Amino acid sequence: MKTTLSDEEMIRRYLPHQPNCCFEILYKRYETKVYRHCLSIIKDADQAQDFTHDIFLKVFVKLNAFQERSSFSTWLYTIVSNHCLDQIRIAKRLTLSSIDDESQLNIPDSNWAQIHEDKLQLFRVAMNTLAVKEQTLLRLKYEQGLSIDDIAKLYAITTSAVKMRLKRSREKVQLMYAQQNKF
């Protein structure tokens, strides 16, 4: 009689030697549950399917960071919830408008692209003035979309410490950007 290994036992046993096999088993166990959890949060079947794939990509990358502080399913559902809520927040910030009607386009004749590129360059210079740890923290949050909780777990610090470090780093970038923009 063959017994099924728990998620945690399987991760301990197979992840170091057979990570693809380990991930495949976890994917089969949880794909439907993750999809349903996404669907319950965002109420859109197509997005829920996309988010499910995105979440499993995150899990595959982060699987070796699973530390068994909670059960695997709790860890996974935390990732699912954070990802879905982050995507909802991002969608609220971005307002999309149709450009089907050419009369709605109000593109000035100026060199908007050059101005935009100049601002991006100033931002890059400002970011490069930060310490590597500060840059990494900002990139984890804003480029990779990690939640405050995920960053706190990654650095083994409190969420309030992450928030404060992010705030200070943003302020440094804003100050440097403002100083560079004067010239």
Is the pTM higher than 0.75? The answer reads: no
Whether residue 41 is found in the same domain as residue 79:
yes
Query: Residue 15 — left, alpha, or beta (φ > 0 → left; ψ -120 to 50 → alpha)?
Result: alpha
pLDDT at 51: 92
181: pLDDT strictly greater than 80: no
Contacts of 106 (CB under 8 A, 6+ apart): none
pLDDT at 1: 47
| pLDDT band for position 135 (cuts 50, 70, 90) | confident
In a domain, 102, yes or no: no
Domain range holding 116?
112-183
| pLDDT band for position 160 (cuts 50, 70, 90) | very high
In a domain, 154, yes or no: yes
- Closest listed residue to residue 130, CA positions, set 102, 171, 161, 91: 171
Residue where a domain stops, chosen among 61, 95, 129 = 95
- Rounded to the nearest integer, the mean pLDDT of the chain is 80
pLDDT at 66: 81
CATH at residue 137: 1.10.10.10
Better-scored residue on pLDDT, 68 or 158: 158
Whether residue 85 is found in the same domain as residue 116:
no
Residue where a domain stops, chosen among 62, 95, 128 = 95
pLDDT at 111: 66
